[in-house]
A and B are shown apart, each in its own frame.
Chain A
Amino acid sequence: MINKIVQSAAESVADVFDGATVMISGFGEAGSPVELIHALVDQGAKDLTIVSNNAGSGHVGLAALIENRQVKKIICSFPRTAISVVFPELYRKGEIELELVPQGTLAERIRAAGAGIPAFYTPTSVNTPLEDGKEERVFNGQKYVLEEAIQADFALVKSYAADKYGNLIYNKTARNFGPVMCMAAKTTIVQVKKVVLVGEINPEHVVTPGIFVNRVVEIVNPADESKLVAENSKYHGIKY
């Protein structure tokens, strides 16, 4: 019997271990799995390497995880936003590591891991400071750099609906990094607005096939992160 539905966010992240690499979906607030991240704040795993497009806004979601000092390093494309306060402060103090990756390279490094491709060549970042230390090769007269896949121990992803097999559909631009992150982690944990019956999602419409998903948690009324940020909410976790 396959049933990937778990009963709570807390249960779904219980085995995240110290030092784990964790992917977190979202482009800014859109698609960010706030409830799963807050469950990870409660759970308390430390020295995490986080892979996400941004570095959190305000004091909730990813920013709360960073503020709770659980993150050793972040791999992202755009850690600077007008409402990003936690990451910049720790970064300037040298208390968090940053690996800056062009956005398309980040997406492809994640996709590659999920597809069993250890590395690939891309023209992105050639002749810029971000090519430093990367192997270079010329194809058809054009320079490319070698980029390695990013594999994760866990992925925390938000999608719209799932069935018990873990087949997923998303909502609008909240899809962003979700599908590739689902593929790239050993354990993929997805929060959905609704769990539907098997067969309810038209097979032609499934975006992430359930084979890439391990756990599904239903969060019927997920917090709107942009609203939490606008209200200057803070999340310190239930154990702290």
Chain B
Amino acid sequence: MESNTKTIGWGVPEMAQKVAMDIHDGAYVNLGIGIPEMVADFIPEAREVIYHTENGLLGMGKVAESGFEDPELVNAGKKYVTTIPGATYFHHADSFAMIRGGHIDICVLGAYQVSEEGDLANWSTGNPDDIPAVGGAMDLVAGVKTIYVITKHNTKTGASKVVENCTYPLTGKNVVSRIYTNLAILDVKDKQLRVRELAPGVSFDYLQQNTDAKLNLP
């Protein structure tokens, strides 16, 4: 599908800010690797949010400053990080008990594709030449109470990442509740996509033209 979606709508920081505004005070949050990590920069100061990283830390602080990196203090993306006062370390089975046991409130993840029924594909393109790697993505979508996806609406070649059915291998089925793209915020409700908010300059018709799934009004 032809599109020039890069030049209109929200930039990535604005997308991250939109996600941040939907994270409530007191939430335990796991942010996926990459763009989702940026969400932490936009949480309003009046809100207290505790970050979980699945490699065994609750109360993750900011990325470590140059010269203060500790190779034994990393996040799930293997970046050097810091802790906040009140942080706690635990082993991997406990960490995933927090995830699978439904103790984490919100997880923000990236996507290759997300379907109108909330199916998520974000771990494999299915290309046989790629080395398959899954990490904690399947556990997160299976266990965290609310899954938000943050992604560009279209790929570099213009293909819609919001689709009727994912063609890439699934990470989980019916797991995503809200999708934040550069063009809009979409809710997955009753196995339908409902447009919650349009980015500036984006009309419903334009959004529909750039989306390979049926869109509905809120």
Q: A: which residues have CB within 8 A of B?
A: 27-31, 53, 77-81, 84, 87-88, 91-92, 98, 100-108, 110-111, 122-130, 170-180, 207, 224-227
Contact = CB atoms under 8 A, between A and B. Distances in A.
A91 B131 contact: yes
B129 interface: yes
Nearest to A103: B136
The 9 A-B pairs of least Cβ separation, nearest first, read A104-B96, A104-B139, A107-B92, A80-B133, A127-B173, A174-B72, A111-B93, A103-B136, A179-B91
B74 interface: yes
Contact of A107 (B70, B96, B124, B170): B96
- Indicate the size class of the contact surface on chain B: 35 or more
Given A124-B143, A178-B91, A179-B91, A88 B131 contact: yes
Main secondary structure, interface of B, reads loop
B207 interface: no
Contacts, number: 146
Contact of A128 (B71, B99, B143, B169): B169
A130 B78 contact: no
Given A77-B135, A127-B173, A108 B55 contact: no
Main secondary structure, interface of A, reads mixed
25 contacts: A27-B55, A53-B92, A80-B130, A80-B131, A80-B133, A81-B78, A100-B133, A101-B134, A102-B138, A103-B135, A104-B54, A104-B138, A106-B92, A107-B92, A107-B95, A107-B96, A127-B172, A128-B171, A129-B124, A129-B170, A130-B138, A173-B55, A177-B92, A179-B91, A226-B71
Contact of B89 (A130, A175, A180): A175
A28 B78 contact: yes
B132 interface: yes
Nearest to A115: B93
A175 B58 CA distance: 13
A230 to B, nearest CB: 10
Interface string B82-97: 0000000111110110
Contacts of A28: 74, 78
Contacts of B195: none
B73 interface: yes
Given A77-B134, A100-B134, A103-B54, A173 B89 contact: yes
Contacts of A128: 138, 169-173
A175 B138 contact: no
B92 A176 contact: yes
Interface of B: 53-57, 70-75, 78, 89-93, 95-96, 99-100, 124, 129-139, 142-143, 169-173
A122 B93 CA distance: 13
A31 B92 CA distance: 12
A105 B139 contact: yes
Contacts of B55: 27, 30, 173, 176
Given A104-B100, A128-B172, A87 B131 contact: yes
Given A27-B74, A27-B78, A173-B56, A130 B96 contact: no
A24 B92 CA distance: 13
A124 B101 CA distance: 11
Contacts of A126: 142, 172-173
